[in-house]
Structure 1
């Protein structure tokens, strides 16, 4: 018979992490609501754009080197990775 690895300490740790994630989610939602309310109060017309976030955070496509077989040219993947991390961290996709 196998022993359950989900101990009381593990459950407490999971609850602690979930509480922190909930706090961050509520902070982001509160900021979005306050910003939206401020914009509505200041402006008569607000355009809205439907961003394709999934496409924006897609990884950079590799560029094969035509001169060398099996080699690739620099494609800015590290810069794109940093941009992807920033876009994901902003919480645009959250509602």
Structure 2
């Protein structure tokens, strides 16, 4: 709900005073990802990880595939993108 991945069925939430229901894009500019241990989940693929970070960053769901494709192309990880991260060694 907070990142826009799930629809809001009831109520509202606020991030830095911004409603995720009515000002979702503004609210998401104040959302980050700060893991305590590993920054990536080894069971996810590189592509899935990019999708996750794009959504956390607040990129609209409809724009994520294009953005992820661009990052994969720019970084040259195309042959690895669908492999689990733990297989990148």
TM-score interval, smaller chain: under 0.3
TM-score by length of 2: 0.22
Whichever structure has more helix as a proportion of its residues is 1
**Structure with the greater relative contact order (CA < 8 A, sep ≥ 6): 1 or 2?**
2
**Which structure's CA Rg is the greater one?**
1
TM-score by length of 1: 0.21
